[in-house]
Amino acid sequence: MASDLTAVPNIGPATAKALIAAGVPDAASLREMGAHEAYRALLLAGERPHFIGYYVMHMGLQGRPWNDCRGEEKAALRQRFDSLVAEVRGAPLSGLEAALDEIGLRRR
């Protein structure tokens, strides 16, 4: 299935593939949910948190280059990112994750 996610600035094929796997199938869905919630979906799907990926998505949805994020704006996004990561890490484990934890096999 083709997706137009790579038409969003700063979204490459790897990120598009991860977004699709996380339930964000296209650019319209990404725009509707926004970068913060799309990144939440990525984290819940098992992607490792990476601040640059978070703010790059924000910049792309605003039509801005990835490296345009600076100063107070970047600091505010960092706070939101850290809060999101903490929130997702505190989310209850799925049944499979809990079982894997119990036997010591889940990747950290």
Query: What digits encode the pLDDT tens for the residues 88-105?
Result: 888 665 666 666 666 766
Instruction: Answer yes or no: is pLDDT of 35 > 90.
Output: yes
Instruction: Answer yes or no: is pLDDT of 33 > 80.
Output: yes
What range defines the domain where residue 77 resides?
Answer: 5-102
pLDDT mean over 21-39: 96
Structure tokens at 104: 């010591």
108 within domain boundaries: no
Structure tokens at 99: 């079982």
Structure tokens at 105: 């096999």
Alpha carbons 100 and 34: distance in angstroms, whole number = 32
98 within domain boundaries: yes
Closest CA relative to residue 40, chosen from 59, 56, 19, 25: 19
pLDDT at 102: 66
- At 65, which CATH number? 1.10.150.20
41 within domain boundaries: yes
Structure tokens at 19: 């977004």
How many structural domains compose the chain? 1
pTM to 2 decimals? Answer: 0.80
107 within domain boundaries: no
pLDDT mean over 30-59: 96
